[in-house]
Amino acid sequence: MPEITALIFDFDGVIVDTETPDFATWQQEFRAHGVELDRELWSSFIGSSMEGFDICGHLEDLAGQCVDREALQSRRRRRYINLVNSSPVLPGVMEYFDLARRCGMKIGVASSSTRSWVEGHMKRLGLIGCVDSIKTRDNVTNVKPDPELYRLSLDSLGVSSAEGIAIEDSVNGVLSAVTAGLFCVAVPNEMTKSMDMGLAHLKLESLAEMSLKKLIDLAGDPA
């Protein structure tokens, strides 16, 4: 088996839990209009894109009334950004970054979010200088669950799929990584913990649950 030489992280929900506050702030708007935002429907977009889904239109359909979309979006966005900006790095992430750098491994980020979103938060968290590659929706035609993001990340890092480990939190992300040929670790968060992660090679409660050394050993000998 080839040596494991690279880690590729999803961003949202893996490095920082941006997904719980995203849903929570939208749910707050829906409840203010006397309706519920279906968690399962919302979860189907996690790790991919909401392009093509008119969430304000969905709210209007459920509530049976028009809403001031601009005001709603602005109000909701402010609350969301405030929550995310106070969110810490998730457990185990810093330890993985630190050990990977000390071991000379390459680190990539593959995200269906925008480059400005990912890079902005990586800078805020002091992690931007730790990564060798950041690939986002701005770099590809198709976001997850398509494997394009992971294939591009592998090319950028100069490694084969057999040399990398992907760390994901959603069904869309796991499918993307596995289709690209990577050993994939699922680390669900509050929003994705009920999803079926059966395609992942390994599922952890958090990265703090397993040392990077042990993970590399498992990935190098999946049998």
The percent of residues in the chain predicted with pLDDT above 70, rounded, is 99
Chain mean pLDDT for the chain:
94
- How do residues 57-75 score in pLDDT, each as one tens digit? 999 999 999 999 999 999 9
User: So what's the pLDDT on residue 190?
Assistant: 87
- How do residues 71-110 score in pLDDT, each as one tens digit? 999 999 999 999 999 999 999 999 999 999 999 999 999 9
Q: How confident is the model at residue 20 (pLDDT cuts 50, 70, 90)?
A: very high
- How do residues 176-191 score in pLDDT, each as one tens digit? 999 999 999 999 988 8
Q: How confident is the model at residue 222 (pLDDT cuts 50, 70, 90)?
A: low
Question: Do β-strands 133-135 and 106-110 pair in parallel, antiparallel, or remain unpaired?
Answer: parallel
User: So what's the pLDDT on residue 198?
Assistant: 93
Is 169 an annotated catalytic residue?
no
Is 38 an annotated catalytic residue?
no
User: So what's the pLDDT on residue 155?
Assistant: 98
User: So what's the pLDDT on residue 220?
Assistant: 80
- How do residues 36-60 score in pLDDT, each as one tens digit? 999 989 988 887 877 778 999 999 9
Mean pLDDT of 200-204: 96
User: So what's the pLDDT on residue 45?
Assistant: 84
User: So what's the pLDDT on residue 1?
Assistant: 60
Full DSSP string of the chain: -PPP-EEEE-SBTTTB--HHHHHHHHHHHHHHTT----HHHHHTTTTS--TT--HHHHHHHHHTS---HHHHHHHHHHHHHHHHHTPPPPTTHHHHHHHHHHTT-EEEEE-SS-HHHHHHHHHHTT-GGG-SEEE-GGG-SS-TTSTHHHHHHHHHHT--GGGEEEEE-SHHHHHHHHHTT-EEEE---TTTTTS--TTSSEE-S-GGGS-HHHHHHHHHS--
Mean pLDDT of 121-149: 96
Q: How confident is the model at residue 223 (pLDDT cuts 50, 70, 90)?
A: low
